[in-house]
Amino acid sequence: MSLCFLDPMSETLIRLLLLLPLLLPVTAAPACGQSLPGFETDLSKRSIDLDELVAGGPPKDGIPALDDPLFVAPEAAAGWLAPQEPVVALEVNEDARAYPLQILIWHEIVNDRVGGVPVAVTFCPLCYSAVAYARTVDGTTYTFGVSGLLRHADLVMFDRQTETLWQQLNGEAIVGELTGTVLDPLPAQIVSFAQFRAAYPGGRVLSRETGHRRDYGRNPYVGYDDIDQRPFLYRGPQDERLPPMEKVVAVSHGGEDKAYPHTLTRARRVVHDTVGGTPIVVFHAPGAVSALDEARIRRSREVGTTGVFEVRLGGRVLRFRYEDGRFVDEATGSTWLVTGQAIAGPLEGQRLTPLPHGDFFAFAWFAFKPETAVYRGE
């Protein structure tokens, strides 16, 4: 859920709305009460109190999800997409696609089919949560829309088949017929457009030809990606371990949740750890800018690209170091991209197994995963 209204001229209003957390307590945000006008959701089935839902501004479908996305070759997208701009990279069955945040920031959900698999690629600007899900559950494929509601400042989606409400950040159905169902996450990664092209030369890019008139490339949340900001329309619990707007690399694996602060991963570039009993590596390379900094995304500050991978490969556990924008494994001296492919050396052509992860604002991740352990550099 975002503040992106249908009229592209509403930037001034949007900026004023972003200032509200500095002027009013977050409890001033309007709650939805015990009814959901405009929805045919079964309210008798739910795992939350309806008062946790907050109206975010635009109504149901006021932010239009993309249901029939078109794609173009990277060469065609290069005319309007800068090399440093962030995209969500998703590869399924050797079908690689890039979803520019300059488009997702206005639509938040893309219902797509990648490598033959129905997927939903989602992005909540208020949480910086880019998550891809398989949208087939127990043999039924669901199509998702933007509800116009927030919970803990995070986008609440709804499916068009049952009008169940779903939490975007963790893929859980929270109100309606399918309450308790959880979507399967897919390993997706925010990378720069240049990094996507280097890793997936045959990949395709979501087109600006969406059927909607939007000022793609403009960021309506100017200055929101600031560690000193306050989360917009957030009424959830406060976690004192990190500043609310600190970005973390968040990983859930093997029943364990762990968060790696960007301040640490950016400084180290490589972090080795174990999550859920699995040895992993966290990469943090330069290259991508923030989508929520300057008014024009291409002019925003550099925040980098992260990747999380298992380090077991071919019976061995690899260890890595960072060298000049690439990662080198110490066992063979092979060179790896932040997307997990070896591009030179004895292991050229090999790929690390990616783990689903996200680069979320800390407040959002802790709101849904309060038991998360924070990596402190041990």
Structural domains of the chain in order of their starting residue, each with its CATH number = 11-206 (no CATH), 247-374 (2.102.10.10)
Q: Looking at the predicted structure, is the pLDDT value of residue 317 above 80?
A: yes
Q: Looking at the predicted structure, is the pLDDT value of residue 21 above 50?
A: no
Residue with the bigger pLDDT between 36 and 34: it is 36
Q: Looking at the predicted structure, is the pLDDT value of residue 19 above 60?
A: no
Q: Looking at the predicted structure, is the pLDDT value of residue 321 above 60?
A: yes
Instruction: Express each pLDDT in 281-304 by its tens digit.
Output: 999 999 999 999 999 999 999 999
Q: Looking at the predicted structure, is the pLDDT value of residue 4 above 50?
A: no
Q: Looking at the predicted structure, is the pLDDT value of residue 334 above 50?
A: yes
Q: Looking at the predicted structure, is the pLDDT value of residue 2 above 80?
A: no
Where in 300-367 does DSSP place strands (E)? 305-310, 312-313, 316-317, 320-323, 326-329, 335-336, 342-344, 357-361
Residue with the bigger pLDDT between 309 and 3: it is 309
Question: How much is the average pLDDT of 228-232?
Answer: 92
Q: Looking at the predicted structure, is the pLDDT value of residue 335 above 70?
A: yes
pTM for the structure as a whole: 0.92
Cα–Cα distance list, 9 to 5, 6, 220, 253, 341 (Å): 9, 9, 10, 43, 43
Q: Residue 80 — very low, low, confident or very high, per pLDDT cuts 50/70/90?
A: very high
Instruction: Express each pLDDT in 176-200 by its tens digit.
Output: 999 999 999 999 999 999 999 999 9
**Average predicted confidence (pLDDT) for the chain:** 92
Give the DSSP letter of residue 223: T
What is the reported pLDDT for 25?
Answer: 35
Closest CA to 12 of 197, 222, 193, 186: 222
Q: Report the Cα 333 to chain-centroid distance in Å.
A: 32
Return the SS3 of 370.
Answer: coil
Instruction: Express each pLDDT in 249-293 by its tens digit.
Output: 999 999 999 999 999 999 999 999 999 999 999 999 999 999 999
Q: Residue 91 — very low, low, confident or very high, per pLDDT cuts 50/70/90?
A: very high
What is the reported pLDDT for 340?
Answer: 98
What is the reported pLDDT for 5?
Answer: 35
What is the reported pLDDT for 35?
Answer: 73
Structure tokens at 150: 């927030």
Reading across the β-sheet that carries 53-55, which strands appear in turn?
53-55, 144-151, 154-159, 165-167, 173-175
Write the Ramachandran bin of 96: left for phi over 0, alpha for psi from -120 to 50, otherwise beta: beta
Structure tokens at 212: 């909607």
What is the reported pLDDT for 235?
Answer: 86
Q: Residue 34 — very low, low, confident or very high, per pLDDT cuts 50/70/90?
A: low
